[in-house]
């Protein structure tokens, strides 16, 4: 079972609508840890839960991250899944963050 911290990230990621993306930093911020973007990456690299749409999380440059031991096949798979959902990735491998970024509603106080 994932840690409480990781489950918080996964909950945010599950709420990303189809055809939208968030950056690692966006997920960290939405889960209450604005400086922990790298930890979101760690959480996704250890993911075993197929209900978490991991492919909807990209880096702050609007690109699919190639780090963390990602294989070229994994990068291609993420690209394919995003494109099937209607996310446009340009010839330089970038997503227009302004067009496709999901901004979750602010938590209710």
Q: Which domain holds residue 57?
A: 4-98
Helices (H), 31-71: 37-45
- The answer as to whether 109 is a domain residue is no
| Sequence-ordered strand ranges (E) for 25-91 | 57-58
- The answer as to whether 104 is a domain residue is no
Mean pLDDT confidence for 47-61: 92
If you average pLDDT over every residue of the chain, what do you get? 90
- The answer as to whether 107 is a domain residue is no
pTM listed for this prediction: 0.91
- The answer as to whether 84 is a domain residue is yes
State the pLDDT at residue 61.
96
Mean pLDDT confidence for 46-62: 92
CATH of the domain at 34: 1.10.10.10
State the pLDDT at residue 109.
62
d(CA 56, CA 9): 13
Mean pLDDT confidence for 18-43: 95
d(CA 51, CA 17): 13
């Amino acid at each position: 079972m994932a840690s409480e911290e990781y489950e918080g990230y996964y909950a945010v990621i599950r709420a990303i609508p189809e055809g939208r993306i968030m950056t690692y930093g966006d997920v960290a911020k939405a889960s209450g840890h604005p400086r922990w973007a790298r930890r979101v990456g760690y959480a996704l690299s250890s993911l075993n839960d197929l209900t978490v749409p991991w492919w909807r999380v990209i880096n702050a440059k609007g690109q699919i991250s190639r780090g963390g031991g990602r294989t070229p096949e994994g990068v291609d798979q993420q690209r394919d899944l995003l494109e099937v959902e209607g996310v446009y990735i340009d010839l330089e491998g970038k997503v227009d963050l302004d067009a496709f970024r999901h901004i979750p509603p602010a938590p209710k106080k």
